Amino acid sequence: MIQQVHVTKDALDQAALVEVDNGELADGAARLAIESFSVTANNITYAVVGDGFGYWNFFPAAEGRGIVPMWGHAKVIESKSDEIAVGERVYGYLPMASHLDVIPGKVSEGNFVDTAEHRQPMSPVYNQYTRLAADPEHDPAREAERMIFGPLFKTGFLIEYFMRGEDWFGAEEVILTSASSKTAMGLASVAQQNSPGVKRIGLTSSGNVDFVKETGLYDAVHSYEEVGLLSIRDSVVVDFAGNAGLLAKVHEHYGDILKYSCLVGATHIEERGSGGMNDDRGLPGPKPTLFFAPDHMVAMFREVGAEGAAKLAATAWHSFLETVAGTVAIERHQGLEAARTTYLEMIGGSVDPAKGIVIEP
């Protein structure tokens, strides 16, 4: 038997720990024991936009339920693949569960792809697993940081690359909501490195203002209540909060001076509005546009190649790690019940941004 956390799709604040029969391993497959994964705002976004972007389809559950994807590490404990050995460790997209069966294909020294039929319609970015023994990015001492910051950082990295390619739509400032979130911090860090001429304005809850200021990533930090006090300059907004009311305030304050409105996450699920992340409710200024990182990653590969993209990301990643060192305290919790409760706390918006949570099933 294996354990999984099942979330009710139409009631995301309901999650249950269940046991299912893992059955006999299929020919050509490998069974992974999940060692660790992080629970972040990124996972909340996967749940919020689950059906729209196929996130529920990676790890199927019973009708009406879904398994939220995570990023983490796993070990091969059984293998019927000639190319994957028992005992090797991998990093990649995992279910909130104790185990996962994969069908390795396109195997190279550094990675493989899960070729399970049900995963093929989704973005290939999520189906690739890195083999840690040959992974130049792997640092055993920083596995927690990779899980907590890595996927979120790459989204921020891709947003900056996209915005810079568009000359920031002529904006002088970028406004980042949920500025305490790790994705926002990633974008702020890369913009600080690569687009220093664009001012970074962080918006956050009043209780997080001090934390956000202490990161040193923003030129100015304001609470959500202070939106009406912001100076009106040519700006773009990147909304990580998914808070429809907050986004409306920003649009109403800036009007047509707002050059672009980018929707990324949904950390304030209870306030995202009846239309979800695409609910613009006739806002003044540009129509909010959802940013889907895998599509932008593919576009970047076409422009600079996979190797060139990896080099650019690695340079920005190492700089980011130096910047955020010590800003987030890593907490480790054992067992999937801890994963379930952490998920529920996070979907309720009650997790301290100064904490990075790692679950060891």
Residues 133-161 pLDDT 10s: 988 778 888 899 889 888 888 889 999 99
pLDDT score of 58: 95
Provide the residue ranges of all domains of the chain, joining segments of one domain with +: 2-138+328-360, 149-294
- Of 40-54, 125-139, 188-202, the range with the lowest mean pLDDT is 40-54
Q: What is the tens place of the pLDDT at every residue in 236-288?
A: 999 988 788 999 999 999 999 999 999 986 544 444 443 444 444 578 999 99
Question: In terms of Cα–Cα distance, which of 126, 128, 1, 150 is closest to 68?
Answer: 126
* Percent of all residues in the chain with a pLDDT value above 90, rounded to a whole number: 60
- Given a cut of 80, whether residue 357 has pLDDT beyond it is yes
- Given a cut of 90, whether residue 86 has pLDDT beyond it is yes
Over residues 200-212, mean pLDDT:
94
The per-residue pLDDT of the chain, averaged, comes to 88
* Chain Cα centroid distance, residue 141: 21
pLDDT score of 281: 56
Q: Given the structure tokens 């900056």, which residue do they identify? A: 160
Contacts of 47-55 with CB under 8 Å at 24 or more apart are: 47/7, 47/12, 47/347, 48/12, 48/242, 48/266, 48/269, 48/272, 48/276, 48/277, 49/266, 49/276, 49/277, 49/290, 50/9, 51/9, 52/276, 53/292, 54/121, 54/122
Decide whether 2-138+328-360 matches 149-294 in CATH topology: no
pLDDT score of 234: 97
pLDDT score of 355: 79
Cα–Cα distance for residue pair 229/247, rounded to 1 Å: 15
Q: What is the tens place of the pLDDT at every residue in 21-67?
A: 988 999 999 999 999 999 987 788 788 877 777 899 999 998 899 99
Residue positions counted in the chain: 361
Give the single-character DSSP code of 97: B
Q: CA dist 246 to 57, 235, 241, Å?
A: 31, 16, 8
- Of 126-130, 275-279, 297-301, the range with the lowest mean pLDDT is 275-279
- What's 149-294's CATH class? alpha beta
**Domain 2-138+328-360 CATH superfamily:** Medium-chain alcohol dehydrogenases, catalytic domain (3.90.180.10)
pLDDT score of 277: 45
Question: In terms of Cα–Cα distance, which of 271, 218, 264 is closest to 239?
Answer: 264
> For residues 188 and 173, is the Cβ–Cβ distance under 8 A?
no
pLDDT score of 351: 65
Question: In terms of Cα–Cα distance, which of 119, 66, 62 is closest to 92?
Answer: 119
Q: CA triplet 92, 95, 97: central angle to 5 degrees?
A: 125
